[in-house]
Amino acid sequence: MNAAIFVGALLLAWLGYKLLHRPYDAGPGVPTPGKMSVGEAPGPLVSGDYRLRLDGVRWVDQDSLPKDLQLSFRARPSAVVDYLVLDVSVTDLGRAEVPLTFTDAGQNVRLLVVSSDPESVYIDPLDPREASRISGVAPFTAGPLAAGATRRGALVYPVERYRKGLRLLFVPAYAPAASPRDGPQEPAIEMHFSD
């Protein structure tokens, strides 16, 4: 009898979740150009002179890392965060050098993982040094990209595994008060992941 009650309670909880679950989908609040190149991973997706391709995706459990590994608070904000490792390649399709700095003060592009389930959030990648420590492979590095050149490496994001609807945004960085209409329009890429 107790087993039947327990199973019934689990079934009701599952049914309630399926019927009542409504993710808060207001978008992540990231300024983006009006016209985005949108597609599914692995791409490639193109925006202007930028071509983005996803070469691999994997998770690294926080518990699998050495306890004495020196990481910032941003890399280890809580015990439920694991690490989404994206192996990406970006190619400059043009005839001139393109800017590609996604870290520190000289940032001109953003490489963000966004999710709207269970709530809207955007996550910046970890510093390349921490990305290398966590992933164990060469990180994706910042700096101008020469004409015709391709840069490959790992981007690492501290993400809770329960998040759904993950997307990678590759967009220009705008000043806090600037409107995207008045700023750069490329790169403007939104890559969707299957759950």
The CATH number covering residue 118 comes to: 2.60.40.1240
Residue 28, domain member (yes or no): no
- 17 pLDDT higher than 70: no
Residue 17, domain member (yes or no): no
Question: Which comes out higher in pLDDT, residue 119 or 111?
Answer: 111
pLDDT mean over 164-171: 92
The reported pLDDT for the residue numbered 20 is: 58
Burial tier of 156 (Cβ tally within 10 Å: 0-12, 13-18, 19+): buried
> Cα–Cα distance between 189 and 49 in angstroms, integer?
12
Tell the residue number behind the tokens 């700023």, with chain if given: 183
- 166 pLDDT higher than 80: yes
Residue 31, domain member (yes or no): no
Mean residue pLDDT of the chain comes to 87
Question: Which comes out higher in pLDDT, residue 21 or 117?
Answer: 117
Q: Say whether the peptide bond before residue 77 is cis (omega within 30 degrees of 0).
A: no
The reported pLDDT for the residue numbered 109 is: 94
- 53 pLDDT higher than 80: yes
> E strands, 41-108, where?
45-47, 50-60, 81-92
The reported pLDDT for the residue numbered 136 is: 93
Burial tier of 104 (Cβ tally within 10 Å: 0-12, 13-18, 19+): exposed
- 16 pLDDT higher than 80: no
pTM of the complete model:
0.82
pLDDT mean over 103-109: 85
Residue span of the structural domain in which 42 resides: 36-192
Residue 87, domain member (yes or no): yes
Residue 50, domain member (yes or no): yes
> Cα–Cα distance between 71 and 123 in angstroms, integer?
17
**What's the domain count of the chain?**
1
pLDDT digits (tens, 9 = 90+) for 120-130: 889 999 999 99
- 1 pLDDT higher than 80: no
Residue 25, domain member (yes or no): no
| Backbone CA torsion sign across 134, 135, 136, 141 | negative
Band of pLDDT at residue 28, cut at 50, 70 and 90: low
Residue 13, domain member (yes or no): no
pLDDT digits (tens, 9 = 90+) for 136-159: 999 999 999 999 999 999 999 999
Residue 1, domain member (yes or no): no
> Could you give the percent of the chain with pLDDT greater than 70?
92
> Cα–Cα distance between 29 and 120 in angstroms, integer?
8
pLDDT mean over 82-103: 95
